[in-house]
């Protein structure tokens, strides 16, 4: 075999190694190829480790709730059931905990502020529950329990904010203690408050709330707790309301 053919045969693997190292010819350092392979394997290893990691950051729950409210997506938060966020009772422990009320409050306030009717609602914490107080004077005609057109739109907007929450929801109707005027459809403030609570509950379900909330009429039974130091007429106005209550436990 001619000497040139022997050199060509010996140099062929070196040229191939040189191409892998980023050079056209010349062979290149073989350790560089080994190092690149090692770095690639380490990168794949750490990507797999990250993919198998369980997120345990407390901030993940708040992020999940924000996405659910802002984008209308259902987000599963497995960590919620493992560590209940609030001091809860036996019934809550059995059902599991929903989203934390401490960060739901500002998120709901921001969403409700966009609606001309809902911006008049009051959102406040009452023990282990979050209460959205809707003024009845903005939802209903006096003595009636049918939602006005503007109120139906407002309740629909509220339903979009609540539809993706796993928390249990209740609707409670309230009234002021003044006797019913005239001979209307409802013979008592309690009956009227129940009918109004039922109208709001049905409106929420019709607008996308996945489960029918419990509706109850409390009449003027809680009037004693309504702004005791405020003028009487203002107390009457605050008493006429429908409370949408978000509880800490998950809905059944």
Show the tokens assigned to 123.
Answer: 């959102």
Rounded CA-CA distance 134/85 in Å is 27
Nearest residue to 105 via CA among 65, 164, 61, 150: 65
* Tens digits of residue pLDDT in 203-236: 999 999 999 999 999 999 999 989 999 999 999 9
Provide the domain count of the chain: 2
**What's the CA gap between 167 and 84, in Å, rounded?**
13
Kindly state whether residues 186 and 130 are assigned to the same domain.
yes
Using one digit for the tens of pLDDT, what is the confidence trace for 79-110? 333 444 444 444 444 457 778 888 788 888 88
Output the domain CATH number for residue 118: 3.30.1330.60
Mean pLDDT, residues 159-176 taken together = 91
Same domain, 94 and 181: yes
Judge if 160 and 226 occupy the same domain. yes
Res 232: pLDDT: 93
Most confident of 35-39, 150-154, 181-185: 150-154
Say whether both 46 and 135 belong to one domain: no
3-state secondary structure of 246: strand
74 and 191 belong to one structural domain: yes
- pLDDT value of residue 86: 45
Kindly state whether residues 64 and 158 are assigned to the same domain.
yes
Q: What range defines the domain where residue 67 resides?
A: 58-250
Shared-domain flag, residues 43 and 62: no
pLDDT reported for residue 32: 66
| Angle formed at CA 76 by CA 155 and CA 163, multiple of 5 degrees | 10
**Model confidence band, residue 40 (pLDDT cutoffs 50, 70, 90):** confident
Question: What band does 113 get if pLDDT is binned at 50, 70 and 90?
Answer: confident
Q: What percent of the chain has a predicted confidence (pLDDT) above 70?
A: 68
Query: Do 38 and 112 share a domain, yes or no?
Result: no
Q: Identify whether residues 39 and 113 lie together within a single domain.
A: no
Instruction: Answer yes or no: do 70 and 157 share one domain.
Output: yes
pLDDT at 155: 93
> Does 77 lie in the same domain as 43?
no
* 19 and 121 both lie in a single domain: no
């Amino acid at each position: 075999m001619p000497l040139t053919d022997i050199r060509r045969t010996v140099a062929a693997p070196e040229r191939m190694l040189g191409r892998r190292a980023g050079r056209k010819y010349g062979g290149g350092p073989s350790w560089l190829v080994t190092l690149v392979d090692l770095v690639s394997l380490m990168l794949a290893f750490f990507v797999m480790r990250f993919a198998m990691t369980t997120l345990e950051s407390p901030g993940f729950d708040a992020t999940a709730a924000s996405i659910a409210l802002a984008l209308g997506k259902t987000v599963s938060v497995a960590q919620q059931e493992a560590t209940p966020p609030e001091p809860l009772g036996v019934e809550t422990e059995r059902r599991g905990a929903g989203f934390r009320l401490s960060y739901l409050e500002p998120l709901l306030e921001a969403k409700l502020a966009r609606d001309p009717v809902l911006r008049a609602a009051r959102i406040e914490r009452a023990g282990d529950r979050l209460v959205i107080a809707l003024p009845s004077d903005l939802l209903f005609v006096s003595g009636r329990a049918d939602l006005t057109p503007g109120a139906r739109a407002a309740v629909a907007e509220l339903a979009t904010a609540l539809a993706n929450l796993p928390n249990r929801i209740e609707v409670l109707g309230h009234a002021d203690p003044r006797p019913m005027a005239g001979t209307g459809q409802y013979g008592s403030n309690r009956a009227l408050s129940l009918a109004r609570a039922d109208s709001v509950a049905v409106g929420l379900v019709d607008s996308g709330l996945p489960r029918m909330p419990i509706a109850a009429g409390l009449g003027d039974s809680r009037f004693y707790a309504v702004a005791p130091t405020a003028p009487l007429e203002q107390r009457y106005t605050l008493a006429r309301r429908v409370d949408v209550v978000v509880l800490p436990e998950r809905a059944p």
